[in-house]
Structure 1
């Protein structure tokens, strides 16, 4: 005889044949948390490390190149300043040497005129160069040429004796004289700038001992 319980309806929510428990067991697991995903993004890969190392090497190379360029620029600047100074000194020495050579050439030309000037002085002392005469006109032209060359005469009676400028041909003890002075000018001296063409030949008055 059949038991009436065998024909009872299954209760609501109850799975037949245990399928509910199997489905629950085979269902999807818990969803991954956001923390694990962010952690994966923060992790460094081998490529990241290699790229970082290459970037550091590139920065170091750039810094080394900049330092080398700065050193080269400084060296070139120092060399340029040195060359400018050397050129300025060269120009100065050249100008000085040029001036000396010009003065020397003028001096050589003037030395040839000194005997003529001596003759003119002697002629003037003897009254042979009276104003208006042809000889006086020639003498004036010669003296003008000498002046244009820059030649000046020196040596006058009564001035202090200077052995650097005067050539003493005789010393005359003179009462009342306290120091050596020019007593008489035998030949005037001539100079051209700093070049001594001829010292003045003089008689020197010296104190009486």
Structure 2
């Protein structure tokens, strides 16, 4: 049997001088641990309370992003519509200008016919010659008016109007034998087809 000395604990709050004793740190440790655990528990309990606010911010941010995307799409559509409108307006303006040029040129075809006939008969001289040539040059260079229709040219119903058709052993395709009245066009737009006599293969 082992002889152990008895352990005597002094639990008095005052020492022999009457002063308060210091608490044993080992005894205070459990209390501190309990306090720390309580604080951690309180902090953990407080975290979930912030989650609803964060979720609301995320939802609001998603809504704003969606609204921004819709606004950008609407702006893009407006820009496309405006660009299409400007393009159509320019095309219409060009078409209207071209129609005006064609109308003016058509009204002058009879004058050009007189100039052409006078030249063929050697009567284009004096002031009339100068005026006639200026008119032809202005319409040709300024507005793109072209006179066409020459003897020997292949007949094309898109540009020629046959007033007479006669067989000929000298041609392999329908060709113009005589120009009764020249044709005029601006670009591919025929203002008046050339009126001609056609030789067809016999």
The residue number in structure 1 matching 2:16 is none
1:82 to 77, 81, 89: 77
The residue number in structure 1 matching 2:19 is none
Distance 1:159 1:54 in 2: 96
**Structure number with bigger Rg:** 1
In structure 2, relative to structure 1, the CA distance for the partners of 1:41 and 1:200 (3 Å cut) is same
Show the 5 A alignment for 1:52-131.
52-130=47-125
Instruction: Count matched residues.
Output: 182
Distance 2:174 2:49 in 1: 93
Give the secondary-structure state (helix, strand or coil) at the position aligned to 2:27.
Answer: coil
Which portions of structure 1, spanning 4 or more consecutive aligned residues, are displaced by more than 3 angstroms? 26-33
Superimposed CA distance per residue, residues 32-73 of structure 1 (whole angstroms, 9 cap, x where no aligned partner):
35244323322323x863x42331112111111221122122
Distance 1:35 1:176 in 2: 130
Superimposed CA distance per residue, residues 64-92 of structure 1 (whole angstroms, 9 cap, x where no aligned partner):
12211221221222222222222222111
The residue number in structure 1 matching 2:128 is 135
In the alignment, is the contact (CA less than 8 A) between 1:103 and 1:192 conserved in 2? no
Distance 1:162 1:35 in 2: 115
1:145 to 109, 121, 138: 138
TM-score between the two structures when normalised by the length of structure 1 = 0.76
1:27 to 12, 16, 19: 12
Distance 2:174 2:157 in 1: 10
The residue number in structure 1 matching 2:189 is 195
- CA apart distance, 1:168: 1.5
